[in-house]
Structure 1
Amino acid sequence: MNYFELFGLKPDYTVDLASVSKTYRELQMQFHPDKFATASQSDKLAAMQKASQINDAFQTLKSPLRRAEYLLSLAGVDLQHEQQTLRDPAFLMQQMEWREQLEEIAQSRDPDSEISAFAKQLACHQDTLQQQLVTTLAAQSYQDAALLVRKLKFMFKLQQELELLEESLLE
């Protein structure tokens, strides 16, 4: 049973996160290992495995990036262990510009406003990529979707680096 089936969803990039959270809590209550404290060893083990599967499914479904990678894996495209380089010159140039911008924030006279502006810029670009991802996945254009996921991986990593920079500047 795949994660979408486990949560009673159709395999789709767009999910209702409130519904996913609600289903997660219901499944956890149903299969929590404490409910099987007096059960046989095999039933305890099965409950523990099911609870673990539910946790993995929840972590995957609630994360846009992990959800996209999972959808691609269901379609036979595994991005988890690939080392393929992104071959989009325009995006590679944009990456270099963003990296420079990130470096300049630390030296800025007003890093708070720079961080805020950069975060908005990244969020806007992420939203655009995610909207494109919805369309390409719906069209079952999996190689194009894989390219978008690779770009999103970079975007999410850059966003994390921005958050780390912000924390370091607050210290």
Structure 2
Amino acid sequence: MPISTLTADATHFALFDLPARFALDQVALDGAYRTVQAQVHPDRFAGGDDAQKRVAMQWATRANEAYQVLRDPLKRAIYLLQLRGIDVQAEQNTAIAPDFLMQQIEWREAIDDGAAARNVAALDAVLSELRDAARIRFDKLAGWLDGGADQPAAETARELLFIQRVAEAAGRQIERLEDA
């Protein structure tokens, strides 16, 4: 779809002429991104007037931002939910299931223990467990989003954000120990 036919409020999916769903063909996204960039890249408008250059830069920036959102499964899920009027409220809504809260505490304690013991293998084990937990939730998330079950999808997205933060903390500890 030519960029000239899109409005400024077009969704990321419309920008790349892709269906608005969680399951996404990465090859199709990559190809669509390259096509859009070829249409709007500022170098194509180097000889144009200032307004053309500015518009090209805005569309190129928009395409980059849209691509970054759609290529990341968690960002894509949150974006889909936003399009449906559901705010994940990750920062404000910290209400999570008690069993997940306990699991999160256990992961954080395991990270603290591994860091204190300078045990990279223990931290790697926590990271592996976090990846498994994320994979299970992404499978659920895909079914909920593509099936229209937005509330469970939002709760799962919040859990994935927590898992992501814990995994980043574990990664930082591993880097710290390996750099020491």
Instruction: Tell me by how many angstroms 1:29 deviates.
Output: 2.2
Q: What are the Cα deviations for residues 111-148 of structure 1, in whole angstroms up to 9, with x where unaligned?
A: 23212221111111000000110111122111111100
**What SS is found at the alignment partner of 1:8?**
coil
Q: What CA RMSD, in Å, does the superposition of the two structures yield over aligned residues?
A: 1.6
8 Å Cα contact 1:72/1:78 also seen in 2 = yes
Aligned to 2:165: 157
Which residue matches 1:37? 46
Match of 1:101 in 2: 110
Change in 2 beyond 3 A, CA 1:53/1:116: same
Q: Specify the code of the residue in structure 2 equivalent to 1:55.
A: N
TM-score by length of 1: 0.92
Name the TM-score, length of structure 2 as normaliser: 0.88
- Check if 1:116 corresponds to 2:124: yes
Q: Within 2, Cα distance between the matches of 1:64 and 1:87?
A: 21
Identity, % of aligned pairs? Answer: 36
> Which residue does the alignment assign to 2:178?
170
State the one-letter code of the partner of 1:98.
W
Instruction: Tell me how far apart the structure 2 counterparts of residues 72 and 150 of structure 1 sit (CA, whole Å).
Output: 12
**Distance across 2 between alignment mates of 1:161 and 1:19:** 33
Q: Quick one: which of 21, 24, 27 aligns to 2:30?
A: 21
CA contact (8 A) 2:137 2:160 kept: yes
Gaps of 5+ in 2: 1-9
Tell me which residue corresponds to 2:136: 128
Matching residue of 1:88: 97
CA separation in 2, counterparts of 1:152 and 1:10?
23
Q: 1:32 to 1:126 in 2, by over 3 A?
A: same
Q: Which amino acid aligns with 1:107?
A: A
**Mind listing any 5+ residue stretches in structure 1 that lack a counterpart?**
none
CA contact (8 A) 2:13 2:19 kept: yes
Cα deviation 1:19-51 (Å, max 9, x = unaligned): 322322232122111110111222212111110
Give SS of 1:54's match: helix
Q: Distance in 1 between matches of 2:159 and 2:76?
A: 15
Q: Once superposed, which parts of structure 1, at least 4 consecutive aligned residues long, lie more than 4 Å away?
A: none
In structure 2, how many angstroms separate the alpha carbons of the residues matched to 1:83 and 1:134? 24
Q: Is the 8 A contact 2:88 2:155 kept in 1?
A: no
